Amino acid sequence: MKAKEIRELTDAEAQAKLRDLRQELFNLRLQQQTARLERPSRIREVRRDMARIETILRQRELKMAPAGVK
């Protein structure tokens, strides 16, 4: 998922996507432990997508905050 695509999402949609990615990461780690993981690189992709979403949500949060408060 590209940052541009994430920026087009609303906060609620981004939170939902983040929740889905966390669940997917859990499932991928479970598959990895049981030696049934077909694409190990998918774990890295999911973690990076999660980081992108969290970064963009934090940027939005800081943008909405008053200038004097951090």
Taking only the tens place, the pLDDT of each residue in 6-63 is 999 999 999 999 999 999 999 999 999 999 999 999 999 999 999 999 999 999 999 9
Asked if residue 69 belongs to a domain, the reply is no
For residue 55, what is the DSSP state?
Answer: H
Q: What is the pLDDT of residue 41?
A: 97
Q: Which residue has the higher pLDDT, 29 or 66?
A: 29
At 70, list the tokens.
Answer: 């951090």
pTM (2 d.p.): 0.88
CATH number of the domain encompassing residue 39: 1.10.287.310
pLDDT at 68 exceeding the cut of 80: no
Q: CB within 8 A of 66, min separation 6: which ones?
A: none
Residue 1: band (very low, low, confident or very high) from pLDDT cuts 50, 70, 90:
confident
Asked if residue 58 belongs to a domain, the reply is yes
For residue 38, what is the DSSP state?
Answer: S
Task: Provide the domain limits for residue 25.
Answer: 3-64
